[in-house]
Structure 1
Amino acid sequence: MKQGSWLPILILGVLLSFIILIFCVIHNIALGYALALCWVIFMAIGKREYGLKTLLRFSWEGAKTSFGVLKTLILIGAVIGIWMASGTIATIVYDAFRITNPQTFILIAFVVCAGVSFIIGTSFGTISIVGLPLMLIAKSGDINLNIVAGAIMAGVYFGDRCSPLSSSASLVATITATRLFRNIRNMFASSWLALLLTLAGYWGLSLLNPLNHINTSFMTQLKHNFTINWLMLIPVIIVLVLSVLRQPISRSIPLSILAAAILGVTEQHQQISTLLATLVVGYHPATAHALVQGGGVVSMISPLTVVPISCAIAGILNHLASFTNLQQSLANRQTKLPFGMTVLISFITSAIGCNQSIAIIMTNTLMRPAYGKHNGQLAVDLENSSILTAPLIPWNIAAFVPTAVIGASFVGYIPFALYLYLVPLVYGLQQLIFKKGVNYH
């Protein structure tokens, strides 16, 4: 069979995979099962081009690219568990409770997450440091959790797009051969209106959906179960400072864990064996219905299964000639305003590749001919599409991991993640209004 005739089969496989994934999301079925079935589908399609051993090698090569992410997930699960046991999470929640204005909580959630993500440049780190405590406050305050989760998700990816410390922003600068800080300047220039609309949207949602009450009994419970003082913030400060110093979280989190363990022993009077156990199984106090509980490596089991399978699928797709033909046929539908096609392809690569970095690289490869020598414009368009569309795909790592950390619905947050779709929407309208686009160099 000729390569061109394989294209309908690949498209059918892609559509079938989408149906399976969407079905599992709607019915709350573990995505690991869905992705495993999708892997089988693409293995079957790949058999038309390669032998079984070769496809398994492609899968393994793809899965190996996930090892860095897996290490990060293990560290995040471990640090959340010990932060809970050491009183770090309790202190953040308690202090946030005291300064929280119920009428502006949703807006504050976005602003705080956006600020921290810009400072440290990592969505996964931000979701652990402030996203989880904010969600705990929301759960105790009887508020629409999907709206809060949407504000948190939008905020944690603000820095992914425009922080000098963001690995995603650095990746875009590298593959487009552009200067990082010039890109950052262009990021703000191309999104200030969308940001203002986002702030206005969350302000309105805050007024319509305030925290119904500040749970004083929860604050009393925190004071009773934990020693609350500024020392408990040292583990978080370590991560923040080292992130600003461009140290990877693979270095900062172990130091934070050590600091939290010391505080757990000296301030919370925990047993060392208990603290070690929280790294694996999380913190589970005897107090019934305690909000401050969970974490540990076991809390990351679902993401730990999803990530390597999704990368294995990407490993197969990267070698399929029929998939390359599909990508090229999409990319060849060029106009004078290529941003719309860039957004479409970024959605497809985010959904199929299940990984933000894969989406960025694939979209860049496909759309580069459409931009010619306008690398700066390409960089802006990638930042305004691939980086922000990945967190809107429930089975993408960029969405699946943060929602798992804060215990949010995999799909419920999407309508309320305003910044994630207002940026490409407003920017796209701007391109249409100017007809020839707004040039960034």
Structure 2
Amino acid sequence: MEQSTKKEIKFWMALLPLLIMIAVMIVTVVQLGQGPHMPLIVGTTVAALVAWKAGYTWKEIEEMMYKGIKLALPAVVIIMLVGLTIGAWMGGGIVATMIFYGLKIITPAWFLVTIAIICAIVSLAIGSSWSTMATIGVAGMGIGLSMGIPAGMIAGAVISGAYFGDKMSPLSDTTNLAAGLTGTELFDHIKHMFFTTIPGLLIALGVYAYLGRNFGTGKTEALEIAQTSKVLQESFIVSPFMLLVPLAVILMVALKIPAVPALIVGIILGFLSQVFIQGDTVVHAITALQEGFSITTGNEMVDGLFNGGGLDNMMYTVSMTIVAMTFGGILEYSGMLQSIMNQLLKIVKSTGSLIATTIAACFMTNATCSEQYISIVVPARMFSKTYKEKGLHSKNLSRALEDGGTLTSVFIPWNTCGVFILGTLGVGVVEYGPYAILNFVVPIISILYAFTGFTVVKMTKEELVERDHETNYEMELETEEVSLNP
């Protein structure tokens, strides 16, 4: 697709698909209580019409959609495998074991703090928020709900912890991506994020400690926890050895084994546990993988926790991801997103406004392109030159990309991250959003730092000289090219 042969899409025309999609989304989701699929399809249709009006052929527009979907295929595969994992682990008694022992050792008052810290440690070790949420997060939801804690609070604490570890881990793909795209040394990038992310985590833990003070204080809650534990023992074979399954998956990911084979091993172990340890039939074990696990204990809480998972239950999530990426693909590859970004650059007057605009652009890319990685790649490409021109060290940009891109992805219901959380933890953005404290506090801290100048690092004299040499060299190349092609 040669964009140079097409008309440049003006800002207001580029903004039109997004505005219409958001308007339809508000009516459909908020007022009518329906899913976000149809608004995304409306947005995709409008985006396609705008691209067609700009001179793109239908074949080219189709290619844009396919390229967008292709970007989401790794996420789609993970989402499907997570559905299989949850079904296998529920049927195999692995989730039941994690919940049973979690109820024994974690007190309700400190549950939110504890689960956030555990998720942070695991995610820091393995570098993956998704793997953490699919293992520790699923069990954490069961434990917290058994204690009478609202689902939104539990999911928020899980997300805060998981994204802290993902953001700060040298094994994380987003961390390496942000450092690599900006030319920042990896550990310089991580150290620079300490200033925004550590305070963000401490604030989150403080809020969770405050929220948890009212849980587990009554006799009724204690009786419910005891009753849940009893039903779990009666319905499943519970053993500490069952904990080796999630431990094996976490260890494999920590050893840099890719997520797909690690999850497949977890699925196989869960399937074998259901057949040989729980004593279920092969047919039921296969049904748990395909349709989800089903159980009737007579205990409403346990039945609600353990009826779910499976490949079929993830198809809603998969379809939303695909539809969202067709929308994002047209916006990205038609130049609409670039047109919006160029307009944002016009309001940049100072260092503070530059960093704040970068964070806002990352959030906007999360909303328009529906993919966390694009929210890092596109703003990195758009703002890199401006940071250099202002004499700012590249680690300011890399930190802003993570603060604005990695963390805010969870607040967009149709973003792959928001979709994954809904499919895995069973909680939507409206419920968990107010409690994902780290994810919205860190961007705020980052913007405050930007306007006060705190921790904003300038280039050294040597780096400024190197920048000037690079600029002069690029200008010479451009002059040479013009002279060769008059």
CA 1:383 to 1:211, structure 2 compared with 1: closer, same or farther past 3 Å?
farther
Letter in 1 for 2:372: Q
Letter in 2 for 1:246: K
- Partner of residue 224 from structure 1, selected from 231, 234, 243: 234
d(CA) in 2 for partners of 1:270 and 1:117?
33
Q: Say whether the 8 Å CA contact 1:349–1:359 is kept in structure 2.
A: yes
Q: Say whether the 8 Å CA contact 1:141–1:211 is kept in structure 2.
A: no
Q: Say whether the 8 Å CA contact 2:115–2:157 is kept in structure 1.
A: yes
d(CA) in 1 for partners of 2:429 and 2:40?
15
Counterpart of 1:33 in structure 2 is 38
Letter in 1 for 2:44: W
Higher RCO (CA < 8 A, seq sep 6+): 1
d(CA) in 2 for partners of 1:242 and 1:211?
39
Counterpart of 2:28 in structure 1 is 24
- Partner of residue 433 from structure 1, selected from 446, 452, 455: 452
CA 1:362 to 1:209, structure 2 compared with 1: closer, same or farther past 3 Å?
farther
- Partner of residue 388 from structure 1, selected from 399, 407, 410: 407
Counterpart of 1:327 in structure 2 is 341
What aligned pairs does 1:56-205 form with structure 2 within 5 A after superposition?
A: 56-205=62-211
d(CA) in 1 for partners of 2:459 and 2:312?
45
Q: Does 2:254 match 1:239?
A: no
CA 1:435 to 1:77, structure 2 compared with 1: closer, same or farther past 3 Å?
closer
Q: Normalising to structure 1: TM-score of the pair?
A: 0.94
CA 1:126 to 1:436, structure 2 compared with 1: closer, same or farther past 3 Å?
closer
Letter in 2 for 1:349: T
Q: Say whether the 8 Å CA contact 2:14–2:339 is kept in structure 1.
A: no
SS, match of residue 184 in structure 2? coil
Q: Does 2:269 match 1:292?
A: no
- Partner of residue 363 from structure 1, selected from 379, 403, 426: 379
Deviation at 1:86, TM superposition (A): 0.5
d(CA) in 2 for partners of 1:143 and 1:323?
41
Deviations 1:369-389 (A, max 9, x none): 221162222111112211111
Counterpart of 2:365 in structure 1 is 349
SS, match of residue 28 in structure 1? coil
Letter in 2 for 1:137: I
CA 1:149 to 1:360, structure 2 compared with 1: closer, same or farther past 3 Å?
same
CA 1:382 to 1:292, structure 2 compared with 1: closer, same or farther past 3 Å?
same
Q: Does 2:311 match 1:301?
A: no
d(CA) in 2 for partners of 1:440 and 1:191?
23
CA 1:140 to 1:24, structure 2 compared with 1: closer, same or farther past 3 Å?
farther
Q: Say whether the 8 Å CA contact 2:123–2:165 is kept in structure 1.
A: yes
d(CA) in 1 for partners of 2:427 and 2:115?
15
SS, match of residue 333 in structure 2? coil
d(CA) in 2 for partners of 1:98 and 1:150?
22
Letter in 1 for 2:411: L
Letter in 1 for 2:264: P
Deviation at 1:228, TM superposition (A): 0.8
d(CA) in 2 for partners of 1:161 and 1:177?
17
Letter in 2 for 1:339: I
Counterpart of 2:471 in structure 1 is none
Q: Say whether the 8 Å CA contact 2:37–2:320 is kept in structure 1.
A: yes
SS, match of residue 412 in structure 1? helix
Q: Say whether the 8 Å CA contact 2:351–2:451 is kept in structure 1.
A: no
Deviations 1:177-236 (A, max 9, x none): 222233222222443222222221111111145576142111111001111112212221
Counterpart of 1:403 in structure 2 is 422
Deviation at 1:98, TM superposition (A): 0.3
CA 1:76 to 1:436, structure 2 compared with 1: closer, same or farther past 3 Å?
closer
Deviations 1:238-261 (A, max 9, x none): 211111111111111111122222
Q: Say whether the 8 Å CA contact 1:194–1:419 is kept in structure 2.
A: yes
Deviates most, 153-162 or 415-424: 153-162
Deviation at 1:438, TM superposition (A): 4.3
CA 1:235 to 1:206, structure 2 compared with 1: closer, same or farther past 3 Å?
same
d(CA) in 1 for partners of 2:241 and 2:455?
55
Deviation at 1:262, TM superposition (A): 2.2
Deviation at 1:360, TM superposition (A): 1.0
% identical equivalent positions = 25
Deviation at 1:34, TM superposition (A): 2.1
Deviates most, 360-369 or 257-266: 257-266
d(CA) in 1 for partners of 2:459 and 2:174?
19
What aligned pairs does 1:205-220 form with structure 2 within 5 A after superposition?
A: 205-209=211-215, 213-214=221-222, 215-220=225-230
Deviations 1:343-392 (A, max 9, x none): 11111111001111111111212221221162222111112211111112
Q: Say whether the 8 Å CA contact 1:25–1:394 is kept in structure 2.
A: no
Q: Normalising to structure 2: TM-score of the pair?
A: 0.86
Deviation at 1:42, TM superposition (A): 0.9
* Greater Rg over alpha carbons, structure: 2
Task: Structure 1: state its 5+ residue gaps.
Answer: none
Counterpart of 1:249 in structure 2 is 259
Q: Say whether the 8 Å CA contact 2:356–2:450 is kept in structure 1.
A: no
Q: Say whether the 8 Å CA contact 2:160–2:201 is kept in structure 1.
A: no
Letter in 2 for 1:40: T
Letter in 1 for 2:38: Y
Q: Say whether the 8 Å CA contact 1:105–1:210 is kept in structure 2.
A: no
Task: Structure 2: state its 5+ residue gaps.
Answer: 1-5, 461-486
Letter in 2 for 1:336: T
Deviation at 1:269, TM superposition (A): 0.7
Q: Does 2:4 match 1:7?
A: no
CA 1:435 to 1:257, structure 2 compared with 1: closer, same or farther past 3 Å?
closer
Q: Say whether the 8 Å CA contact 2:68–2:325 is kept in structure 1.
A: yes
Q: Does 2:287 match 1:261?
A: no
Q: Say whether the 8 Å CA contact 1:91–1:233 is kept in structure 2.
A: yes
Q: Say whether the 8 Å CA contact 1:144–1:209 is kept in structure 2.
A: no
